[in-house]
């Protein structure tokens, strides 16, 4: 009965689709958080599949920090167009202008921490009950215990001690009026699974993920793309042209590049297979403290 055995990738896909559908069935107002990175592109693809031939029954929400790569935004708009999806964008700049948050001090401040407030405001504005995200457990130690259905209290706080046990495939999405859930259908995927799935399904991804020439500088040991007003060279920093690519795509201010010649998906996969640092190794925000991620999660970061 070999026809009944399924590859692990197919099993992960079925699991993710099941979870996405549970969200659509258990909540009246879900939303899919879209960052433009490969995980959220894979999420959109899976959500597309989950309801085929029907349409994805919820919108996408992008929290724009103003520090996005232009390629990310162009790719996002093309994708929305192609798949005929509904996109909501909310801007961190607006939160700053309204005095909800204050820009960090110092040279080239990151807005990564600020987006939490914008996100929570958007959740409240649209009364979203569940936000689907593309986070994976293998990304970071603090995520290893994260649930598929992650409960957030009325203040959007994540209490590690108050998470519901998840058994078999039974997900409990019951909640009080003010509470909401973050849901992570890709929990069991690894970075390699994502790449392999992109290859298997022939999913389009931004060119930033492939090797290209660009102006960079080295800051705190990381290769950063230079951008006026976001990554601005200090007098002591020298810029140079290098062939690089990105393993994750977040804000320009905190996404490190890697030197690479990987021009195709197969090259990228080969590189991922022999990589000696995690993909988050290139993210400045995590380096700050060992428990950085945990702290941000408690505040409602996705």
Spell out the long-range contacts of 159-164 with Cβ–Cβ below 8 A and sequence spacing 24 or more. Answer: 159/298, 160/294, 160/298
Cα(203)–Cα(45) distance, rounded to whole angstroms? 8
In this structure, the chain runs to a length of 302
Site string for other proteins, 23-42 (x = CB under 8 A): -xx-----------------
Instruction: Scan residues 67-106 and list those touching other proteins (CB under 8 A).
Output: none
Do the bridges between strand 212-219 and strand 222-225 make them parallel or antiparallel, or are there none, so unpaired? Answer: antiparallel
Strands of the 180-183 sheet, one edge to the other: 87-91, 60-64, 30-33, 130-132, 180-183, 149-152
Stretch near other proteins under the rule CB under 8 A, chosen from 73-81, 171-179, 212-220, 251-259: 171-179
> Which residue in this structure is represented by tokens 């990175």?
37
Instruction: Scan residues 212-251 and list those touching other proteins (CB under 8 A).
Output: none
Stretch near other proteins under the rule CB under 8 A, chosen from 119-127, 158-166, 238-246, 248-256: 158-166
What DSSP designation does 142 have? G
Query: Is the peptide bond prior to 53 cis by the omega test (within 30 degrees of 0)?
Result: yes
Taking CB under 8 A as the criterion, the residue among 5, 84, 236, 241 binding other proteins is 5
Dihedral sign computed on CA atoms, order 82, 83, 88, 92 = negative
Report, in Å, the least distance between residue 193 CB and other proteins. 8
* Of 5 and 241, CB closest to other proteins: 5
Report, in Å, the least distance between residue 141 CB and other proteins. 5
* Of 16 and 117, CB closest to other proteins: 16
List interacting residues with other proteins (CB under 8 A). Answer: 1, 3-15, 17-18, 21-22, 24-25, 48-55, 137-138, 141-142, 144-145, 160, 163-170, 172, 174-176, 187-188, 190, 192-193, 196, 199-200, 266, 269-270, 273-278, 280-281, 290-291, 294
């Amino acid at each position: 009965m070999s026809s009944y055995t399924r590859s692990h990738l197919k099993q992960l896909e079925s699991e993710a689709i099941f979870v996405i559908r549970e969200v659509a069935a258990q909540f009246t107002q879900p939303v899919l958080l879209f960052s433009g990175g490969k995980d959220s592109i894979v999420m959109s693809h899976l959500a597309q599949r989950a309801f085929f031939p029907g349409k994805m029954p919820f919108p996408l929400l992008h929290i724009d920090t103003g520090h996005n790569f232009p390629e990310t935004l162009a790719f996002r708009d093309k994708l929305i167009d192609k798949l005929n999806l509904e996109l909501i964008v909310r801007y961190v700049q607006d939160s700053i202008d309204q005095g909800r948050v204050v820009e960090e001090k110092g040279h080239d401040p990151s807005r990564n921490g600020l987006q939490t407030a914008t996100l929570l405001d958007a959740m409240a504005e649209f009364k979203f009950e569940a936000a689907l995200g593309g986070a994976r457990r293998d990304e970071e130690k603090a995520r290893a215990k994260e649930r598929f259905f992650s409960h957030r209290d009325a203040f959007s706080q994540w209490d590690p001690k108050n998470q519901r046990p998840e058994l078999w495939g039974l997900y409990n999405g019951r909640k009080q009026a003010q509470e909401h859930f973050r849901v992570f259908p890709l929990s069991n995927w690894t970075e390699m699974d994502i790449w392999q799935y992109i290859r298997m399904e022939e999913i389009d991804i931004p060119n930033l993920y492939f090797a290209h020439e660009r102006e960079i500088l080295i800051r705190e040991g990381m290769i950063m793309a230079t951008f006026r007003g976001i990554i601005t060279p200090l007098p002591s920093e020298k810029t140079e042209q290098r062939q690089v690519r990105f393993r994750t795509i977040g804000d320009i201010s905190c996404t490190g590049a890697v030197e690479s010649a990987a021009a195709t998906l197969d090259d990228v996969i080969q590189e991922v297979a022999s990589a000696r640092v995690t993909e988050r190794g290139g993210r400045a925000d995590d380096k700050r403290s060992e428990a950085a991620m945990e702290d941000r999660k408690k505040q409602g970061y996705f």
